[in-house]
Structure 1
């Protein structure tokens, strides 16, 4: 009886004060905090890291691109900064630092404010037109299987990027039974169940054709469809995040879309950038992401083996997105992405 009273009246931090039995799991980590004045002095380094993490997210638009395009590099993988929040939380608990635990709330709330809306399911039903875009990879070992996979989506309009002269006949042969109409300009093409007209290349300042515009005459009326494959970006130790050609092409594409006379516009393509990347503002400032408006989750599309970023985009204006999703992996290094829209 005396031993039981002793276990009840003391708090050694080693067990359950009501039963005398050892505590387990996270409960043990928090045992003894109440009488420990050091919980406010420990973990100052963790506190500083948590505050810095929050500032990187809050002020991401202020990080300059003048040095290695650090701003765009950060914005490309900005959602992944949230991974550090639970890590910092666990370290703060292990360190027994109340100060660090409170500080971790700052990046947690910041991340939720920036990306919490993407985590929720915003998909709807209905819609008039299903569109798909897919960078099929110029080195695709099985273009026929890729074409069959895309056609299985049931899309009304399919845009393909990174086409080669050798692969175009393969895609056309496999897709022709489902898509009566198609147009190819340079390395991009559109296959459609509905008539196409007004097709022309779009100059994105590269010297060769990697973007096009066509009109899809859907039952609900005409829709201007743009397909683009912006230049790739590279991360180099001596140059940082090299994206100047991509940025120049994005501005040219944005100018072409701004001049579009049709009210309903859809952009399908590999933009080699995320919606957070300021370098794409010429395009993203005038269009909506179907994934952001009507998707579930982040919709990461690249690399296909372990998607880290959504660089394959479906952007719209003058129409209403009702659903957006990624399709199963093909033989490409990108995932196809799809959207359903109301005209």
Structure 2
């Protein structure tokens, strides 16, 4: 009996220690050092830590390890505090409050490996007011322009990213953001309710071997938006960063990412089994009526689409 009690106590301590580590990871992920680039996948999978927390709680209950049960329950509370507010369904403004809306859609086409023609037709079927595309390869560029011209008479491009609009684009400029070549842009669009500044972004790739260029682009984008006095801003595209990525979080201190219409995390990559949200729609000066992550065409990214109502 004493041996069984001692074994239960040791298991309880082990479970409690593991649960405490998960609590620390959830409570202050940015404090974990970026050793060997591991902060990148670590921050990408933060929402998925609910699974090991549940397993620890089940194990503690099965062994009646009370210390493990208590600390695992604390981990459940912390996970819920961090993530439940994000995954609640969107509470849109009522129709009576809506005077004008702006619908937006962003899609990474995956270059020549994707299916730009199918994506273009799907876009035309959905008919967003603003369309942002990334990874536009040279072979599909002219075909995209021809297919979209009638529905989108206003368009701007910076290298492999582009913005198509049903509303006049009053001004635009390509953005380097420290990458060394321009694959982001800033445009001012005459949207209902007042002019809107739109940023279309395709951040540099982020890998374990290195993500300095992506970090630099996100830092410079944050600085530019911080200095941007526009009352209405929409930033959308492939940021190559999950919602909890330490290089992306400063952007969400300036702009809001609406919750999903149906709830959930809205993971967008890879399309076959999404486990991280790399594609985002961020805004300032709007309320969201809808926000969805949807399959569109043959890309390895899902598309993100939103319907926004200007508030100022």
Normalising by structure 2, report the TM-score.
0.89
Taking the aligned partners of 2:7 and 2:290, their CA distance within structure 1 comes to 48
Q: Which residue of 2 aligns with 1:6?
A: none
Q: Is the 8 A contact 2:267 2:276 kept in 1?
A: yes
Q: Does 1:64 align with 2:33?
A: yes
Hey, what's the Cα distance between the residues in 1 that align with 2:23 and 2:193? 46
Q: How does 1:1-343 map to 2 (within 5 A)?
A: 41=9, 42-65=11-34, 67-125=35-93, 126=95, 128-236=101-209, 242-291=210-259, 296-343=263-310
Q: Is the 8 A contact 1:197 1:216 kept in 2?
A: yes
The CA deviation at 1:111 is 0.3
Q: What CA deviation, in whole Å up to 9, does each residue of 1:205-233 have, x standing for no partner? A: 11211100112112322111110100011
Contact (CA 8 Å) 1:40, 1:98: kept in 2 or not?
no
Identify which range, 246-255 or 147-156, moves more after superposition. Answer: 147-156
Once the two structures are overlaid, the 10-residue window that deviates more, 151-160 or 90-99, is 90-99
Q: Is the 8 A contact 2:112 2:139 kept in 1?
A: no
Q: Indicate if the aligned counterparts of 1:203 and 1:252 stay in contact, CA closer than 8 A.
A: no
Alpha-carbon shift at residue 119 of structure 1 (Å): 2.3
Q: TM-score, normalised by structure 1?
A: 0.81
**Closer/same/farther in 2, CA of residues 96 and 229 from structure 1, 3 Å limit:** same
Query: For 2:28 and 2:156, how far apart are their aligned partners in 1?
Result: 43
Q: How far apart in 1 are the matches of 2:91 and 2:269?
A: 22
- How much does 1:72 deviate? 4.1
1:99-128 CA distances to partner (integer Å, 9 max, x unpaired)?
Answer: 322221011011000001122112425451
Q: Conserved in 1, the CA contact under 8 Å of 2:12 and 2:60?
A: yes
**Aligned-residue CA RMSD in angstroms?**
2.1
| Distance in 2 separating the partners of 1:174 and 1:86 | 49
1:295, CA displacement in angstroms?
A: 6.5
Structure 1 residues 82 and 178 mapped into 2: Cα distance closer, same or farther (>3 Å)? same
Q: Alpha-carbon deviation of 1:261?
A: 4.1
In structure 1, list runs of 5 or more residues that go unmatched: 1-35, 237-241
**Contact 1:187 1:210 (C-alpha < 8 Å) held by counterparts:** yes
User: How many correspondences in the alignment?
Assistant: 301
* Alpha-carbon distance in structure 2 between the residues aligned to 1:282 and 1:201: 22
Give unpaired runs (5+ residues) of structure 2: none
Partner Cα separation in structure 2 for residue 230 and residue 299 of structure 1: 19
CA deviation string 1:312-332 (max 9, x = no partner): 011111222232111224200
Maintained 8 Å contact 2:38/2:208 = no
